[in-house]
Chain A
Amino acid sequence: MKPILPTITGIGSVTPFGPLAGLIPHAPLEQPPLEPGPITAWTTDGLRRAFVVKPFQPASVVPGLKTRRLDRLSAWTLVASSLALQDAKIDLSQMDRSRVAVVFATGFGCIELTESFYRSAATNGWSGTDPITFPETLANSPPGHVALFHGLRGPNITISNRFFAGECALLQAASLLRHGQADMAVVIAGDTLTQTMYAWYETAGLLSPACYNAQPLTEPFGYVPSEGVVALVLEPAANRDVRSYGHLHAGRWATGGDPLESIYQMLGDSVPSLTIAAGNGGPCSSGPANHPAGGIFSAEAAIVPAQPVALGLTDTGALFHLVLALSKRDCRGNALMLATSGDRGFAALLLELP
C-alpha cells in the first residue's frame, strides 16, 4: 500500500501582514517590508514596539463570524482556519466532518484571558471571578471554537512545545492522516502578545533596541516580539484533484542528540535547494540546526534566516516561517527544509514543492 503523503492545500493567516488567504504577497524573506508598530493594547511607559496584528473586524473577513465574546487568539484562530479552508476550496457541507481533525499549537494559549481572570481575582477576590472567562482561559478553547463554528467532529488536539510547537502540530496532524484517524486536518499555530509577556522579555533584558525607538529596523540585536496565527489545511496527496503548496515528506524534532545525524537520516536522498534556518526567540546566526544546514547543502542552496518579523511568534513560528518560505517566488519545484533551533534541540521539516 502506498504511504500517505500529507499535502498542504490551503493557507490562512492573521499576522502583522494582516488577515490573508493563501501566500503572503510581497514578503521576501531577506528584506522584511514591515516595521515594528507601537503597542497600543495596553498602557506603556514610553514608546514600546513589536510586530503586532493591527485590529480588524473578523466578520469583515469571514462573514457570519461572531467573535464579540472571544479573546484575540480564538478570534484569529477562527479567521485563519476559515481562510485556510476557503483557500483550499473545501466545501465542508460535502464532507464527513467527523473525519476532519483540528490540531492547534500554542506556546501561551489564551493568556489574555488568564490575565483578565487574575485581574478579576485581584479586584473581587478568588470568590468573585468571572465564570464566563474561566473556561475560555484553557489553551484548547481556540480549536474548540473552530470545531464548533465549522462542525468539525474529528480529533481536536492542542499541543505545546518549547520552541517547536508548530512543527509538532504539523507532524501530529500528519500522523492522524497516516493512521486513518482523520481524512483531513486543519493545523493551526499561534500566540498573542500581552502585557505580562512583553514585561517578561523586557525584565529579562531580551528586547531589541528597535522596541524602544522609531528608527527603521536593520539588525534587531535582540528580540522583537510578534504575534499572529497561521492555519494550514493538510490532506492526503490523493484526496482531491487540488492545488498543492507542498508535500510534507518527512519531519523530526528532538530535545537533544545530534541534529546533523538526525537531519541526514530524515533527508535520505533528498537534496533541498532551499533551507530556512530559524531560531526561536532571538537572532538565528547560531544554533544546532544552522550548523548542519551549512554543512549539508551545496553553495547553490539558499540558507536564509527567517526575517525578524517571524521571530516573535516564539514557539509557534514554524507555520509562519513555512508560509514565508512558500511565498518566496523562486522556490517552486524544489525541496524545502525548514530547520528550527531552540535552546535545547531542534526541529526539521522536509517538504517537496510542486
Chain B
Amino acid sequence: MPPTDVPKIIAVTGIGIVSPYGIGMASLEAGLLSGISRLVPAKNVYPEYPGFEGTTAPVSELPHFAADSSYRYSRSDRLAIVAAQDAVADFDRRQASFRDSGIVMASTVAGLSEIDPGIAQDPAAWYRRHGLARASSYSVARVASSVGEHLAIRGPSCAVSVACASGAMAIALAANMLLDGAAPMVLAGGSDALCPFTLSGFSALQSLDPEPCRPFDQSRRGLNLGEAAAVLVLETLAGAQARGANVLALLRGWAMTNDASHPTAPHKQGIGLAKCINHAMEMAGCAVDEIGYVNAHGTGTPLNDIAEANAYELAFRGRRRPVPVSSTKSYFGHCLGSAGSVEAAITISAVRSGAIFPTLRLTHPIESTTVDWVRGEVRRQPLSLAMSVSIGFGGSNAVLIFGNSGSAYP
C-alpha cells in the first residue's frame, strides 16, 4: 500500500558515489552492466606488502583536498568528500535549507589508512616524525566533519560505526532525523578506504578469498575488500516537493536489529536478520510478494552467506514466487562501512531502471526454495520496491526498502 502521509515520506533527491568504477552513478551503472569486475590482486595494490594474498578493488585517481594546517584529510575523508560533491552537484548550495542540512556518515576505517604500526611503539616519536595532523583523522567522526567543512554545511552532524552495517544504518538514522525535524535535508552515506590494517585483520581471520569472491556459491571461500563512498541526499517528500526537487526514489522502510548471539558470526538461522526484514516491510506497508529484488549483503564468506540465505527463507516464507537476490560485492568487493550506502545506491538504480545486476561467478548457488539467485545476464523487470540488506560484526543488521518515486505517492 503506498504511503500517503507526505510529511513523513522520505525522498531521495541526490545520489553521489565514488567506486572502483569511477565517480558518479553513471560510471557505476556502466561498470555493473559490463559485467566486468574491478577486482585485482592485493599485491598489485600494496607491492610493499607481498604477504597480502587477497584480491581487492581500489579507487584510482582520487583527488586531494586542502585542509587547514591542523588537519590532513584521510583517504576515507577524500572518498566521502568526492561522493558528497557528486550527490549535491545540482543543488543550490546558497540556500539555507542546504546550509542547515544534517550529515550522517558511516565509516569503520576512517584515518587508519594514514597511520602505521610505528605509532604504537613510540607515539611521541611518531608524532614528531609525521606530525599531529595525520593522526587527527583517526576518529570516525572526522569523515562526517570533513564532508561538512568541505560543503560549508552547519546542521547536525554525526558518524556511525557499526562495522559492515554502518552505511545502511547511517541512512536509517538520517531518516529518523528528518522525521524529528532535526534538519531540512540530510546527507547520509558511508566511506571506507582500503588499508593494510583491515587487509591484515581479515587475512588473520582467514576470511579473505585469494581469488575473486563467489557470493552464495556452494564453493565460496571468503570475501574481497574494496573501497568506495556513497552519499544519498534525503529529505521529506513535502520538503522536496516544496523546493521542486527531482525525487529519485522513496525510502519506504528501514529497520535495525541485533542478533545478540555471537561477537562476530551472524546467527546461523538468520533469525535477527529475518526480523529486521519483517520490520522494514512492516514500515513500508508491503507484503512479502511486493519486494521485487533484494541487494544482499552477500560477502562470500561461508558463515555470512548461509545465515543470510536462511534469513530469506524465514522472512520471505509464503511468497508466491522466489525473491530475486544478488550480491554486487562480486563486482568490486566488500567496502565495509560504506557497503550499505553503496548498495543502497545500486538498489535505487535497480528500482529506477528495472535492471537487476547478477551475482558474478555464481555457478552452484546455495539451495533455496525461497530465493531466486540472479546470475548470468542482467535481468530487466519493472520494480516498485527493492530491498538492500546489511550485516555487521557485533550482530547488527540493517534493512532499507526503496520504492519508485513515480508511483508510490499522491
Query: Which A residues have a C-beta under 8 Å from some C-beta of B?
Result: 97-98, 102, 107-109, 111, 114-119, 121-122, 125-127, 129-131, 134-141, 143-145, 147-148, 150-162, 164-165, 168, 171-172, 175-176, 178-179, 181, 195-196, 199-200, 202-204, 252-257, 315, 344-345
Which chain B residue has the least Cβ–Cβ distance from A105?
B158
Cβ of B167 under 8 Å from chain A: no
Q: Please, which residues of chain B bring their CB within 8 A of the CB of A140?
A: 161-163, 392-394, 396
A-B contact pairs, 21 of them (CB 8 A): A97-B260, A118-B116, A122-B120, A126-B51, A127-B52, A127-B203, A129-B200, A131-B201, A136-B263, A144-B396, A148-B260, A154-B257, A156-B394, A159-B159, A162-B139, A175-B177, A175-B180, A178-B180, A200-B135, A204-B132, A253-B156
- Interface stretch of the complex, out of B122-130, B299-307, B383-391, B400-408: B122-130
Interface size class of B (residues with CB under 8 A): 35 or more
Q: Please, which residues of chain B bring their CB within 8 A of the CB of A158?
A: 160-162
Q: Knowing A138-B163, A161-B157, A255-B155 are in contact, say whether A156-B204 is a contact too (CB < 8 A).
A: no
Cβ of B91 under 8 Å from chain A: no
Tell whether, in the assembled complex, residue A119 and residue B395 are in contact, meaning their CB atoms are under 8 Å apart: no
Q: Which of A122, A171, A200 contacts B117 (CB 8 A)?
A: A122
**A202 → B minimal CB distance (Å):** 7
Tell whether, in the assembled complex, residue A121 and residue B117 are in contact, meaning their CB atoms are under 8 Å apart: yes
Tell whether, in the assembled complex, residue B393 and residue A195 are in contact, meaning their CB atoms are under 8 Å apart: no
Q: Knowing A126-B51, A126-B196, A140-B394 are in contact, say whether A168-B158 is a contact too (CB < 8 A).
A: yes
Cβ of B26 under 8 Å from chain A: no
Q: Knowing A159-B159, A160-B139 are in contact, say whether A195-B258 is a contact too (CB < 8 A).
A: no
Which chain B residue has the least Cβ–Cβ distance from A123?
B117
Q: Please, which residues of chain A bring their CB within 8 A of the CB of B203?
A: 126-127, 129
Q: Please, which residues of chain A bring their CB within 8 A of the CB of B9?
A: none
Cβ of B238 under 8 Å from chain A: no
Tell whether, in the assembled complex, residue A108 and residue B263 are in contact, meaning their CB atoms are under 8 Å apart: no
Q: Which of A108, A117, A122, A148 contacts B138 (CB 8 A)?
A: A108
Q: Knowing A108-B139, A145-B263, A255-B145 are in contact, say whether A131-B205 is a contact too (CB < 8 A).
A: yes
Which chain B residue has the least Cβ–Cβ distance from A176?
B176
A145 to B116, CA, bound (A): 28
Which chain B residue has the least Cβ–Cβ distance from A121?
B117
Tell whether, in the assembled complex, residue A181 and residue B256 are in contact, meaning their CB atoms are under 8 Å apart: yes
Which chain B residue has the least Cβ–Cβ distance from A116?
B120
Tell whether, in the assembled complex, residue A130 and residue B204 are in contact, meaning their CB atoms are under 8 Å apart: yes
Tell whether, in the assembled complex, residue B258 and residue A153 are in contact, meaning their CB atoms are under 8 Å apart: yes
Q: Please, which residues of chain A bring their CB within 8 A of the CB of B177?
A: 175
A174 to B205, CA, bound (A): 37
Q: Please, which residues of chain B bring their CB within 8 A of the CB of A179?
A: 176, 179
Q: Which of B182, B205, B258 contacts A152 (CB 8 A)?
A: B258
Q: Please, which residues of chain A bring their CB within 8 A of the CB of B34?
A: none
Tell whether, in the assembled complex, residue B204 and residue A119 are in contact, meaning their CB atoms are under 8 Å apart: no
Tell whether, in the assembled complex, residue B264 and residue A162 are in contact, meaning their CB atoms are under 8 Å apart: no
Q: Please, which residues of chain A bring their CB within 8 A of the CB of B153?
A: 255-256
- Beyond A151-B260, A255-B103, A344-B149, 4 additional contacts (C-beta under 8 Å) are A150-B260, A162-B141, A200-B123, A257-B155
Which chain B residue has the least Cβ–Cβ distance from A101?
B256
Which chain A residue has the least Cβ–Cβ distance from B198?
A134
Tell whether, in the assembled complex, residue B255 and residue A254 are in contact, meaning their CB atoms are under 8 Å apart: no
Tell whether, in the assembled complex, residue A135 and residue B118 are in contact, meaning their CB atoms are under 8 Å apart: no
Cβ of B119 under 8 Å from chain A: yes
Of the listed residues A125, A156, A252, the one surrounded by the most CB atoms of chain B closer than 10 A to its CB is A156
Q: Please, which residues of chain B bring their CB within 8 A of the CB of A143?
A: 394
Which chain A residue has the least Cβ–Cβ distance from B142?
A162
Cβ of B100 under 8 Å from chain A: yes
**A145 → B minimal CB distance (Å):** 7
Q: Please, which residues of chain A bring their CB within 8 A of the CB of B142?
A: 162
**B74 → A minimal CB distance (Å):** 14
Tell whether, in the assembled complex, residue B120 and residue A119 are in contact, meaning their CB atoms are under 8 Å apart: yes
Q: Knowing A151-B260, A158-B161 are in contact, say whether A203-B138 is a contact too (CB < 8 A).
A: no
Tell whether, in the assembled complex, residue B205 and residue A134 are in contact, meaning their CB atoms are under 8 Å apart: yes
Tell whether, in the assembled complex, residue B200 and residue A152 are in contact, meaning their CB atoms are under 8 Å apart: no
Tell whether, in the assembled complex, residue A257 and residue B154 are in contact, meaning their CB atoms are under 8 Å apart: yes
Tell whether, in the assembled complex, residue A139 and residue B260 are in contact, meaning their CB atoms are under 8 Å apart: no
A107 to B260, CA, bound (A): 24
Which chain A residue has the least Cβ–Cβ distance from B135?
A200
Q: Which of B139, B156, B258 contacts A155 (CB 8 A)?
A: B258
Q: Please, which residues of chain B bring their CB within 8 A of the CB of A130?
A: 204
Q: Which of A118, A138, A153, A196 contacts B394 (CB 8 A)?
A: A138
Cβ of B49 under 8 Å from chain A: yes
Tell whether, in the assembled complex, residue B145 and residue A144 are in contact, meaning their CB atoms are under 8 Å apart: no
Tell whether, in the assembled complex, residue B275 and residue A202 are in contact, meaning their CB atoms are under 8 Å apart: no
